[in-house]
Amino acid sequence: MAQTPARLSEKPSWLLTQLAVHAHRLSAAGFAAAGARGYHYRVLAALAEFGPASQAELGRRSTMDRSDVVAAVSELAGRGLVDRTPDPVDRRRNVVSLTEAGARQLRVLDGALDRVQDELLAPLGAGERQALTGLLTRLLAHHQTAGSSPG
């Protein structure tokens, strides 16, 4: 008995990839409207969650390439949203910390991201959103633990 070929629309990996394209587009537009980029949000959020860090630590915490961290931190420092000071323990490194203006900008970006989530997940009810988030979190944790995460 011949099997019917699977359709792309039945493949979770394809569906996730297609949805990621929409999520990225919506996020980029939301951040741009707030005068920022996704990398800015990732750096500010990592600083708010974990506190001051070296640029290398920021890269690991936000899964960003070191050169992207340097560029984002330079842009954020130029706008007064982060401070960059020499590490008192290792003067070759800089420690990056969130400023009050950076914390305010993070709140603005959180609001933009909340609106993006609402638009992206509009067809789902609250329980469905919670279930989806739980499933995606479980999948991501599995693959990160298995050592197959990007970055």
Q: Is the pLDDT of residue 76 over 90?
A: yes
Q: Is the pLDDT of residue 149 over 80?
A: no
Residue indicated by tokens 């959180």: 110
Q: pTM score, two decimals?
A: 0.84
Per the model's pLDDT, the better-predicted residue between 44 and 92 turns out to be 44
Instruction: Measure the CA–CA gap between 103 and 100, rounded to whole angstroms.
Output: 5
Mean pLDDT across the stretch 6-32?
Answer: 92
pLDDT level of residue 5 (50, 70, 90 thresholds):
low
Ranges of H-type helices in the chain: 12-33, 38-50, 55-61, 66-78, 100-120, 126-145
Question: β-strands 94-98, 82-86: how paired?
Answer: antiparallel
Q: State both tokens at 24.
A: 């990225």
Instruction: Measure the CA–CA gap between 149 and 111, rounded to whole angstroms.
Output: 28
Q: What is the largest CA-CA distance in the chain?
A: 71
pLDDT level of residue 62 (50, 70, 90 thresholds):
very high
Query: Per-residue pLDDT tens for 37-60?
Result: 999 999 999 999 999 999 999 999
Instruction: Measure the CA–CA gap between 9 and 1, rounded to whole angstroms.
Output: 23
Amino acid at site 42: R
Domains in the chain with CATH codes: 35-120 (1.10.10.10)
Instruction: Measure the CA–CA gap between 85 and 146, rounded to whole angstroms.
Output: 36
Q: Is the pLDDT of residue 146 over 90?
A: no
